[in-house]
Amino acid sequence: MTVLAREQEPGSTFVVHPGADGAGVVRRTVLPGGLRIVTETVPTVRSVAFGIWAGVGSRDESIEDAGASHYLEHLLFKGTRKRTALEISSLMDAAGGEMNAFTAKEYTCYYARVLDSDMPLAIDVVSDMVTNSLIEPQDVDAERGVILEEIAMHDDDPTDAVHDEFSAALFGDTPLGRPILGTVESISGVGRDRIARYYRERYVPQNLVVSAAGNVDHDEVVRLVQAAFEGVLGDAAQLPTAPRIGGPGASPAAGVRSIVRPTEQANLILGTVGITRTDERRFALGVLNAALGGGMSSRLFQEIREKRGLAYSVYSYNSQYADTGIFGVYAGCLPAKVDEVLEICRDEVAKVAEHGITEEELERGKGQLRGSFVLGLEDTGSRMSRIGKSELVYDSLLSVDDILGRIEAVTLDDVRTVGREILGRPMTMTVIGPFEGRDFTL
């Protein structure tokens, strides 16, 4: 394990992981003002993925600010003091690059992937967007309509909506229980001044991480980022930053949330609170998840789809946050089959909670985790995401070998113990479908 140097002196460079034969070297530099830069060298490729991570997401929002993090994600593409929105997109298109952003519960990321020769352009454009956005009133009004359309599109897809409804059922009216996109009411009511203030408070250097992976030279990245952030960097102690809203809030409790819609398919999630992202048991829970519903050989897939043909899509999943998590089972089936599908899901969850998994499932789960992790690092974008997210939300950056070793070290007892604790908890259920008058609490 390589611990990130949190007390590193501004301007100094720290080798987080030495790599091998010049590849996989991860370096870290802290600039004045607290801006952190991490890079991973992959000299065998001709591309660079560059990202800026902001430590702000939907769980940092008050009720009045609901949806502000995602709103900002849209607005930062609308123009800066140096470039119009068209110039931003034209520059990246002319270079054959790709640029985008995403907002999560606990962070927001703006990124670009370009040829290595176009890295200075990517750094300049993305940094300019993050540090010099104008947040013009006319852009706020125009983008409001776009976001309302996005909310409508999301709500029209029950396979998406059921996950938001499940979070609301599990965490209640708390930041983690609210949708990332915000609501029609919150987006319709928020004004330019509130969003601009949110931007000024949250997008400060000590709350940002710059990450780059590919055919990069760390010192060059530092030089280009420092030039792009000119005038923004300063003494971190003098820069205000708003506090996080806090923990998940209301204590999760078992219950049923039924949303009546005239859909052709019922969409349901059965689940409970999981573990935090830094919990050492996350590797054992990952193996359990693979065995229960993580692939075509998993118990849920075999019992519900292969043997009985009751559903096309069925899987289990786990999500981790700073102070809590989610473990859930999803299934989409014909409304007439929902009772049978739900019964099988409950039975399989109960069996794993009581008896754990088999030796064969253990080895298969380990192999699935190892393969998906390593294959996921085959492109520069995933490597950039790994080091950027690790710097932002973890206390350490585990090397690839460290992670593979921890997966391999998982035992049947480890899986049984975490399964008994997580799956033995009272379950919350959310279902969307044509169930007028149906009481699922029975």
DSSP letter (8 states) at residue 173:
S
**Backbone Cα Rg of the chain:** 23
> How far is 152 from 244, CA to CA, in rounded Å?
28
| Total residues found in the chain within this entry | 442
**Of 73, 303, 348, 361, which residue is the catalytic one?**
73
> How far is 186 from 198, CA to CA, in rounded Å?
14
* DSSP class per residue in 213-236: EES--HHHHHHHHHHHTTTT---G
In the numeric block, which tokens belong to residue 313? Answer: 């899509």
Spatial CB neighbours of 414, under 8 Å, sequence gap ≥ 6: 281, 283, 284, 287
Please check whether residue 208 is in contact with residue 75, taking contact to mean a CB–CB distance below 8 angstroms.
no
Please check whether residue 18 is in contact with residue 2, taking contact to mean a CB–CB distance below 8 angstroms.
no
Spatial CB neighbours of 168, under 8 Å, sequence gap ≥ 6: 177, 178, 179, 257
> What value, to the nearest 5°, has the Cα angle with vertex 102 and ends 2 and 4?
15
Please check whether residue 350 is in contact with residue 306, taking contact to mean a CB–CB distance below 8 angstroms.
no
Q: In the annotation, is 363 catalytic?
A: no
Angle between helices 282-293 and 400-408 (to 10 degrees): 70
SS3 361: helix
Catalytically active residues, by annotation: 73
